[in-house]
Amino acid sequence: MIDSDWKKYSARMPEWRDRHLDRRNRDLVGLLQEPGKTPTERFWETRKRIESEARILRDCFDRHSRSNMKFALLLMLRHGVIEIDELSDFSNELKEDLRRGTAAFD
């Protein structure tokens, strides 16, 4: 791993997390306002979605370390938190490792 990859990753994590949460929060508001469902149904569906999202956030963001960076990026790609083109200024070595890793998800 190249040191500059770690610095870029560390600097962008808060932005990626907040952008992802902004999208998810809007989705949750939509669930809470969904017509045709009872307030109880809306509550439980929203709770289920929050719990699912919390697992994704823990997987992607809780183990912030150099040794977990590649794995965390793979998870972010898999869960749609980031897109591969957002890593254009990372090292070619890292991008290639991630491409190979994401191919395993397909």
**3-class SS string, 46-93:** HHHHHHHHHHHHHHHHCCCCHHHHHHHHHHHHHCCCCCHHHHCCCCHH
Q: What is the pLDDT of residue 63?
A: 81
Q: What is the pLDDT of residue 2?
A: 78
Mean pLDDT of 80-84: 94
pLDDT tens per residue, range 11-37: 999 999 999 999 999 999 999 999 999
Average pLDDT, the chain: 92
Q: What is the pLDDT of residue 105?
A: 63
Q: What is the pLDDT of residue 18?
A: 96
User: Taking 90 as the threshold, does the pLDDT of residue 103 lie above it?
Assistant: no
Record the tokens describing residue 18, joined without a space. Answer: 């907040």
- The Cα–Cα gap between 100 and 94 comes to 10
CA 31 to chain centre: 20
CB atoms within 10 A of CB 96: 10
User: Taking 70 as the threshold, does the pLDDT of residue 70 lie above it?
Assistant: yes
Record the tokens describing residue 88, joined without a space. Answer: 């254009």
Assign residue 64 a region (left: φ > 0; alpha: ψ between -120 and 50; beta: otherwise). Answer: beta
Mean pLDDT of 70-94: 94
